[in-house]
Each structure stands twice: as C-alpha cells, then as structure tokens.
Amino acid sequence: MAESAICFLFQQLSIWLQEEQKLIGRLRHEAEFIRGEMGQMRAFLRVADDKEESDLQLKEWVRQVREIAYDTEDILEKYIFQFAHQHARGFRGSLEKMYTTIKNLKARDEIASEIQAIRYRVQNASQSQQRYRDMYATMLPGSSLTLATANTWYDGRGDALLLEETEVVGIEKPKKQLLDWLSSTNCGLKVISVVGMAGLGKTTLVKKVYDDPSVKVNFDHHVWVTVSESFRIAQLLQDIIKRLVEEVKQAPPQGLEAMNDVGMREFIYNFLQNNNYIIVLDDVWTTNAWEAVRYAFPRSSTCGRGCVIITTRLSNVASAACSESNCHIYRLPPLPAQESKELFNRKAFPGSSCPLYLEEISESILKRCKGLPLAIVLIGGLLATKNNRIEEWQTFNQSLGSELEEDNLKRMWRLLWLSYYDLPYYLKSCFLYLSIFQEDQLIEKATIIRLWIAEGFVEAKQGKTLEQIAEGYLNELSNRSLIQVAETSRDGRPRNFHIHDLLRECIISKSREQNMVFVNSRGDSRWPDKIRRLALDSSINCAHQTCCFKNLRSLLLLRTVDSECASVCIRVLRGGSRLLKVLDLRKAPLDTIPDEVFTLYHLRYLSLRETRVEVIPKIIGNLKKLETLDLKGCWVTELPAEILKLERLRILLVYRYYGGFNAYLQAEDVQSFKAPYKIGCLLSLQKLCFIDTNETVVIREIGKLTQLQRLGITKLRREHGKELCSSLANLTNLRSLNIHADVGEALDLQYALSSSSSASIFPFLRCLVLNGSLDTLPEWIPSLNALTMLRLSWSGLREDPLELLQDLPNLLILGLDCAYEGEGLSIKAGGFQRLKRLNLMGLRRLGWVTVEEGSMPRLEELMVRDCKSMAELPADFRHMTNLRRVWFTDMGKEFVERVSEERRRQGDQWKLAHVATVRFLNTATGVIKTRAVDENVDSRFSTSDADYPDFIGR
C-alpha cells in the first residue's frame, strides 16, 4: 500500500510539474527532487509491503514513507489552493492582487518551510532504505527468492488435504457434479476448473473427489500438486514427474534436476500417453502456471483418457484452462444456510446443541460468515473455548473486526490477505477504498467508478477513457474473487457488486492502519489525528473537533442521516477542509448547498442526490476541477450559466421521477432541467440527463458534445425533430439514448442520422427509449446493431413494429408500452434470435400474436399486461425451451378463464407446461394465481417493474 501512495504521488507530481508550472514556481526544484527520490523507492516498496507484517521496524519505515507521500501531496495542493486565484484584472484587481500578495508572503514562507522539512524527511527515508535493501536483497526483483516463499507464517492451506469426510458438510452436491463430469470423460483430455474466493473450500472439495473410490478405480495415475502463488515452472514440472514415478514405484529419471522445461514436458507426455490419469493442480494463481504445463498432457488418445482439475481464486485462470472443448468451470458457491448452521454448531458446541440464550448471537455471527466454511470453522472453534458465556459471545460479536487480528483467527486473516498482496499496486488503493461501503451494502458500479476517478486512483491509458479503465479495475477485482457480482443489467453486464463481510472487516482494519479511509460506522470514541478520507453515518460523535480535518480529501455520508449529523458535516467543511476532492452528501437533510462547498478549489466529485436542494447558485463556477455533479432526485429545474465554467465536467445528472417509476411512464413523470444556451462548450461531458430541449439552440448545442455516452432529453417538440437528428448524428459514442416528447407533442425522428449511407449509425448504442407518439418507427432503428434494450412508450403505432425490429442482432429486451394500436403482432421464423425478455403492456386493441417456430429461441421471460382484447394465449411456446417465467397482469376476464380452463384440461400438454413459473395478477384486487414448477424460481420472481431502470441507467 505504501507503493500505491508513492506511485500516486509520483504521478501527481508529474501532472503538477506539467500543468501547474505557473503556480508551482519556486517549488519546482524541490518537487523534482522529491519525485526523483520517491521514484527510486518504488521497487523496494513492493518487497516492503509484503514483509512489513513480520518486521516491525520495516513496518514503521513503510508508514513513514507513506506519510511523507501524503504530506507532500497535501502541501502542494495547499500551495495551489493558496495562489490559484491571484489573476485579477483592472485597477481594482491590481489593488486586490497587491493586497493578496502582501497577505500571502507569510503563507509562502510557511509552505517553503514545510517543503524543506519534507525534503529532509525524504533524505532520511532514502538513507534508511539502504539498510533494508541489504537485508532483503534476495527478494528484490530479479532474485531467485520470491516474496511469497520468504513468508514464515503458517496459513494452513494444506490442512484441507487432511480433513476426514465426517468433518465436512455441504459437499455432497458439488462433489456429485464433479464426479458426473469425471465419469463422462471419454478418450482425450478434460479440464475442470473449480473457482471461488479464499476459504470457500475449493481444495477440500477437490480432495474428496480425488479420494473417491470411483476415481481411484477408473484412473491409473493420480497426481496432486500444490502450485501456489510462488510457483516456479521447473519445480512444478519436477513435482509432477516425481509423483508420477513414485506411484508406480520407479526412480525419477536420471538428470531430472538438470533437465530443461521442454524435456520435462516431453517426459510427462510420453508417460501419460494412452493411460487413464487424473492430475490436480491446486491453488493456481496465474495463467502462466497453466501455460507452463498444459501441453504436457496428451489431448488425443485412442485408448486413454485424462482429466486435469484446477483450483483457483481467479476467474481468468479458470477460463484460460477451460478455453478448449470438453471443459467445465465450477464456481463454488458459499455454504447454504442450513449447512452453515450445521457446521457452525458442530464446531462451536461439540457434542451438544446451541443453548436457547445463544441462538440470536449465533445467528448474528453466522450471518457475517456468509457461508464461508473457513470462517465458520475457525470462529466456531474459537467460540467453543468460551464455555457458552453469553457476555464473551456478545463481546466477540461486537468486535469481530479486531478479533480477526488475534492469534486464533490470524490464519484466516492471512489467507484472505494473500489475494490482497498479490494485487498490482494500482488496485490496492481501489480495493481498500471499498471499506467506505457498509455491511450488506451493494457497491454501485457507476458510483465507485466515479469516486475512484475523482480520488485519482485511475491511471490514464491511451485509447481508453478513465471510466473504461476503472471498469477494468472492477472486473479485475471480481476476477480475483475479492468482490462478487451482486446484480447484472439485462444485457448481462455487471451493475452492482458486494464484498464478503469478513473481507470487509479486513480492509476496514487495513484502511485505518494505513490512514487510507476512516469509517465511523460504530460511534468510535477515538479518531486518528489526521483523517484523509472520512465516511460517516448517523452515529457520529458530535464532540469531535474539526481541527483534525485539515488534511481531509473525502467526506461521504453512508446512509440517510439526521440533522445533527448533517450539521457536523457543515462544521467539518467550515473547519478548514479546503483540500476536499470528494463530497458526497446524498440523502442529507439539506435545503440549500452550504457556501463552504464553493470554496473547495480541488473538488472533483459533488453528490447531493436525493436532498431537498432546489437552487444551484452562480458561484458553482468556482469549482473549476469538478468532474461529477450528481443532483439526481433533487428539486433542481434550472442550472445557471456559470455551470459553463466547469470545463472538466464529465457527469451531469439533474433529474427525478415523480411518484416512482411505474409501468406506464408519462412524459411529465420525469423532471428535467433547463440548461444554459451554450451548454455545448462542456466538451468533456459523457453523461447528461435529463435536459429540456424545447429550445432549438439547446438542441444544436447538444450536437457539440461529441464525448457523450449517455443522453436523456425531455420536452421535445415535433418541429425540433430534424434538428435533433442532425445533432445526434455527431454523437457517435452514445451508449444510451432516452428521448421524451413534450406533453401533447409527437416525436418526428424520420431523418437520416448520417450523411453517408455506408456510415455506421450509433455503433455502440446499447439502450434506446422513445417516449411519445410516432407516426412510424424511425427508419434508423433497425440498423442499430449494438442495441440490446429497446423501449417504445405511448408511440401509437398503427403498423406492426416487430417486422422491422426482429432482425436486430443483439436485442435482448423489448418493451412495447402503449406503443401499438393494431389488432395483431407477428413474429416470423428466425426473428429475435437473442431476445431474452418481451414486454407487451397497455396494448388495448391487441387480440392475437403469432409466433412462428424458430423465432425467439432464447426467450426467458414474457410479460403481457393490460391487453384487454386478447382472448387466448398468444402462441404455442413449446419450441421456446428456455422460457422460464411468464406473467399476465390485468388481463380480461375471458382471457383468464379460457387460459385457466386450457391449463386444467390439457395438463402436461398445455402450451406453457414446460415453463417454471406462470403467474396471473390483478393489480386492482391484488389477486395472484401462480403455477410454479420450480418454487425457488417463483420465490425470487417479482411482478413489479423494477427491471425498467435498465433503460435509465445510473
């Protein structure tokens, strides 16, 4: 983590030296010296980050270096803040400048003195570094001894190989799945990857499969090799050879130690050719480990079959190993609730059952284990030593974070942290930053990406936006099983993530230790002297003084807070927190924006989401570095012209929904904002929602925002359609487009979006919403090859739109909401090849739907709502083998009676007999009738329109 701080400072110094030349002035020489010294420390810090846990002196040195980096950043930004505004003009401006110059002489001397002190500290740190470099020279890059092999602490990973079958629970189902895959192995090679986070029991599961009698009988050769993060190719190949020859009681080949990698792979290949074998590669950390051995295993054989099983924490390793045919990936899930409880009780109450007075505490502790077997076993074993004393159990439950650092649970702590230490430096800061999220709180992808960018954690790369790079960071953390995907959008892209509670406790502890983030979520009585990032909830202790906040970089509210907590936030802002980059006051009880916010020269991220703020003052123009302005859910309806001074603004969200987001969204249900006429000068904008377009000049300005990826507009008039299409033709980066007509107006979008017939129209557009009357479907929609979601609302189309839409190659979701006034819809054979969800709502005249065989082969969900003229089921769905959920809402009485009779009379031959869940709902009476084949599916099913935010985004 010290390396992260140094690399970040090194990057920032480079930016300052380049962009702030006029301001940095006298400090340039000092800044260059500090940058040079810090640069020389980076390589060694990779060793230090890993070794500091076992060397207290080194840990203190790392802490000092980290603080130097933080303090240097503070001083330079304070310097820029002090002198960034001294550019007044005219006579009055000259007087003010003279006065300011005299006034700041003392400040200049103070800052110069502080920089000199930093230089002295850097020199001392550089001298101390040499001693540690000599001590750990063998572990520096290029040496044969790696960091991981130098660790002396015991992590217990090998214990899983010694567990008896009776000590394991919840293994039957995954074990059966792996054995089924093994038994289906024909001649040739099969690869099975078992992937999941640390402590899930991957090794335990595979060992039980490996030891199963059927495996012993059906395979002639059995090899188990633990790879680990410290593997060396030669050693790995030698281990495989030794285990192969040991099993047949042969001596290793002569000269094995001197044999090169190619020779060893050839020996293994020849040994296994035409034999039945199973090889387990346990704990694989890199794709290099797999690439090093993959061709040692015969792939085609006339009389032999082989199976390689890999356990790994990394999804990309699993995918790489299973990139060929005849391969499987098993993503090991957490233990289910019942098995978790059984395992916990077995460890915490050996030979007995849980006393009634401990049941509630047991449930609380078990909930935080989240089905992680390692945590359940270790925590249960520790609690077994407390002799069922309720006060000790309660204390443990309340201080679980600190308990993890005690000797009894340190094994789990260290096992979880192996993944952290394996992270590249640029991900360590990002990962620790996740400690700002509360227990069980979802991590919104859009939010965390914007926060990381504002904090400066995301390193620019040529050819990619910062958002794309940050999304790659999230995917990499997910790939390493450090976070898990909690929700996906309907097109399969991750939307929200979550982090295991125990891993969250680890990063909270590490964040506090390294002064990265301080989360006041438990009413802490002691706070650090310096706080750089502060996340608050309503339990804040108001007695804390604001003097410790002068180094504050981020202030975030974790949840809805009371007025007392909001007042403390104001005190923090007034207490000299002038270096803030991130200010998230979402859901705070605020009617106006505090004046102090507009003095924050370095502010990059400002969220007032779901506050009562109505007016944005003109002094918003002071926030020259602002990149994100989130006013979603506020009452703001107009932005001042001074917003145009924010040239770095990338995200501008100013909208709210009235009465929630219902099934039939009307134009007037979306509150948008009136923008300044020259909004086109905000050339960095990537997201702009929702903007009034009842002025021609605004529509023309939108066409200048060529970086836009998401655009939401309202109050569009018919006569402005041509002008809008002309502007849209310039927005080739759009991913999401949401257009609402003005009340009583129609949408006229029948205009070319490109001057060239061969030019690609919206090559990246995934989501399109059109809300308003249409004479005909715009001709350019069928050419949107990237489109995955389309919603047409209140279109009033008289011609069947499906004929034009059914060839869209990537369409996954289609919604027709009061969009069609015809009597029938027809879906031809071969149409909608990738469609997963179809919504037909408010089509009052619709009487029939024909669906030819060969159409919609991947359809999973069908909703038909308020189609009162429909008298029978729309089609024979037997050929739609993927259809899992069908629901009919507010349908006519005749339809419900006829379908019910058909279901009763036809039984297993009914059109929807193969569908897991079929539901009928009347919203007026609340009556629900359900036929569920799979009750688990039905229990997760909702008749709400919660999926529709997919069309809106974040």
Q: Which of 871, 829, 863 is nearest to 846 (CA)?
A: 871
From 27-41, 125-139, 407-421, 764-778, the region with the lowest mean pLDDT = 125-139
Distance of alpha carbon 228 from its chain centroid, rounded? 26
What is the model's pLDDT at position 16?
A: 62
Identify whether residues 292 and 356 lie together within a single domain: no
CB atoms within 10 A of CB 302: 8
CB atoms within 10 A of CB 224: 19
Q: For residue 371, is it within any domain?
A: yes
**Angle, helix 28-51 to helix 56-83, in steps of 10 degrees:** 150
CB atoms within 10 A of CB 138: 11
Q: For residue 386, is it within any domain?
A: yes
Report the pLDDT averaged over residues 529-551.
Answer: 68
Identify whether residues 384 and 454 lie together within a single domain: no
**Under a CB-based contact definition with an 8 Å cutoff, are residues 667 and 743 in contact?**
yes
Q: What's the pLDDT band for 401 if we cut at 50, 70, 90?
A: low
What's the CA gap between 912 and 867, in Å, rounded? Answer: 19
**Under a CB-based contact definition with an 8 Å cutoff, are residues 160 and 204 in contact?**
yes
**Under a CB-based contact definition with an 8 Å cutoff, are residues 788 and 490 in contact?**
yes
Tally helices (H) and strands (E) across the chain.
Answer: 29, 32
**Domain limit, last residue, from 364, 380, 413:** 413
What the block records as the tokens of 348 is 């915490």
Report the pLDDT averaged over residues 707-729.
Answer: 94
At CB < 8 A and 24+ separation, what contacts does 120-126 make? 121/64, 121/68, 122/33, 122/34, 122/37, 122/38, 122/68, 123/37, 125/37, 125/41, 125/61, 125/64, 125/65, 125/68, 126/37, 126/40, 126/41
Identify whether residues 83 and 176 lie together within a single domain: no
Q: What's the pLDDT band for 629 if we cut at 50, 70, 90?
A: very high
**Domain limit, last residue, from 572, 592, 626:** 626
Identify whether residues 184 and 285 lie together within a single domain: yes
Identify whether residues 270 and 381 lie together within a single domain: no
Q: For residue 812, is it within any domain?
A: no
What the block records as the tokens of 265 is 């792979």
Cβ burial 576-607 (10 Å sphere, 16+ → b, else e)? ebbbbbbbbbbbbebeebeebbbbbbbbbbbb
Res. 155: pLDDT tops 70 = no
What is the model's pLDDT at position 661?
A: 44
Q: CA dihedral defined by 121, 122, 128, 134, rounded to 10 degrees?
A: 170
What's the CA gap between 801 and 824, in Å, rounded? Answer: 11
Res. 649: pLDDT tops 70 = yes
**Amino acid identity at 291:** E
Name the residue with higher pLDDT: 145 or 592. 592
Report the pLDDT averaged over residues 294-305.
Answer: 80
Identify whether residues 388 and 456 lie together within a single domain: no
CATH number reported for the structural domain that contains residue 464 in this entry: 1.10.10.10
What is the model's pLDDT at position 938?
A: 33
Among 156-165, 313-322, 583-592, 730-739, the range with the most confident prediction by mean pLDDT is 730-739
Q: What's the pLDDT band for 952 if we cut at 50, 70, 90?
A: very low
CATH number reported for the structural domain that contains residue 548 in this entry: 3.80.10.10
From 111-115, 277-281, 619-623, the region with the lowest mean pLDDT = 111-115
Among 77-91, 414-428, 467-481, the range with the most confident prediction by mean pLDDT is 467-481
What's the CA gap between 364 and 277, in Å, rounded? Answer: 45
**Under a CB-based contact definition with an 8 Å cutoff, are residues 458 and 470 in contact?**
yes
What's the CA gap between 647 and 706, in Å, rounded? Answer: 14
Res. 459: pLDDT tops 60 = yes
From 121-135, 309-323, 446-460, 852-866, the region with the lowest mean pLDDT = 121-135
What is the chain's mean pLDDT, rounded?
81
What is the model's pLDDT at position 514?
A: 81
Q: For residue 396, is it within any domain?
A: yes
Identify whether residues 283 and 343 lie together within a single domain: no
Work out the percent of the chain whose per-residue pLDDT is above 90.
33
Element (H, E) at 236: helix 233-247
Each residue's pLDDT tens digit, 672-694: 999 999 999 999 999 999 999 98
What is the model's pLDDT at position 950?
A: 40
Res. 940: pLDDT tops 60 = no
What the block records as the tokens of 587 is 């859901």
Name the residue with higher pLDDT: 649 or 25. 649
What is the model's pLDDT at position 392?
A: 83
Res. 361: pLDDT tops 70 = yes
Element (H, E) at 156: none
Report the pLDDT averaged over residues 116-140.
Answer: 69
The SS3 call for residue 388 is: coil
What is the model's pLDDT at position 934?
A: 40
Q: For residue 438, is it within any domain?
A: yes
For 196, phi then psi, to 5°, come to 170, 170
From 214-228, 829-843, 925-939, the region with the lowest mean pLDDT = 925-939
Report the pLDDT averaged over residues 832-837.
Answer: 94
Domain assignment of residue 560, given as a range:
517-626
The SS3 call for residue 380 is: helix
Q: CA dihedral defined by 465, 471, 473, 477, rounded to 10 degrees?
A: 180
What's the CA gap between 572 and 564, in Å, rounded? Answer: 13
Each residue's pLDDT tens digit, 219-273: 989 999 988 777 788 889 989 998 998 888 888 888 888 888 899 999 999 898 8
Identify whether residues 167 and 107 lie together within a single domain: no
**Under a CB-based contact definition with an 8 Å cutoff, are residues 577 and 599 in contact?**
no
What is the model's pLDDT at position 185?
A: 65
Report the pLDDT averaged over residues 608-621.
Answer: 94
Among 73-87, 221-235, 599-613, the range with the most confident prediction by mean pLDDT is 599-613
CATH number reported for the structural domain that contains residue 261 in this entry: 3.40.50.300
Each residue's pLDDT tens digit, 180-207: 998 876 777 889 999 998 888 899 899 9
What is the model's pLDDT at position 280?
A: 94
Rg (CA), the chain: 32
Res. 626: pLDDT tops 50 = yes
**Under a CB-based contact definition with an 8 Å cutoff, are residues 431 and 477 in contact?**
yes
What's the CA gap between 715 and 80, in Å, rounded? Answer: 43
User: Would you say how long the chain is, in residues?
Assistant: 954
**Sign, Cα dihedral of 672, 676, 679, 684:** negative
Report the pLDDT averaged over residues 614-626.
Answer: 94
Res. 608: pLDDT tops 60 = yes
Q: What's the pLDDT band for 723 if we cut at 50, 70, 90?
A: very high
Number of domains in the chain: 5
Q: Strand 494-498 to strand 443-444: parallel, antiparallel, or no bridges (unpaired)?
A: antiparallel
Q: What's the pLDDT band for 95 if we cut at 50, 70, 90?
A: very low
**Under a CB-based contact definition with an 8 Å cutoff, are residues 706 and 732 in contact?**
yes
Sequence-separated (6 or more) residues with CB below 8 Å from residue 442: 486, 487, 496, 497, 498
**Under a CB-based contact definition with an 8 Å cutoff, are residues 766 and 735 in contact?**
yes
Among 141-145, 384-388, 860-864, the range with the most confident prediction by mean pLDDT is 860-864
Each residue's pLDDT tens digit, 779-804: 999 999 999 999 999 999 999 999 99
Identify whether residues 326 and 401 lie together within a single domain: no
Q: For residue 938, is it within any domain?
A: no
Identify whether residues 274 and 167 lie together within a single domain: yes
**Domain limit, last residue, from 269, 298, 331:** 331
What is the model's pLDDT at position 953?
A: 43
Q: What's the pLDDT band for 607 if we cut at 50, 70, 90?
A: very high
Identify whether residues 599 and 547 lie together within a single domain: yes
In the DSSP assignment, the letter for residue 72 is H
What is the model's pLDDT at position 936?
A: 36
Report the pLDDT averaged over residues 910-924.
Answer: 86
What is the model's pLDDT at position 144?
A: 36
What's the CA gap between 207 and 457, in Å, rounded? Answer: 40
What's the CA gap between 678 and 671, in Å, rounded? Answer: 21
**Angle, helix 410-421 to helix 501-513, in steps of 10 degrees:** 80
Give the start-end residues of each E strand in 572-650. Answer: 582-584, 605-607, 628-630
What is the model's pLDDT at position 937?
A: 34
Cα→Cα distances 918→853, 880, 885, 911, Å: 21, 14, 6, 11
From 55-69, 88-102, 126-140, the region with the lowest mean pLDDT = 88-102
What is the model's pLDDT at position 60?
A: 78
What's the CA gap between 187 and 760, in Å, rounded? Answer: 47
**Sign, Cα dihedral of 286, 291, 297, 299:** positive
Q: CA dihedral defined by 215, 216, 218, 220, rounded to 10 degrees?
A: 130
Q: For residue 572, is it within any domain?
A: yes
Q: Which of 761, 737, 741 is nearest to 751 (CA)?
A: 761
**Sign, Cα dihedral of 739, 745, 746, 749:** negative
Identify whether residues 142 and 61 lie together within a single domain: yes
Q: For residue 99, is it within any domain?
A: yes
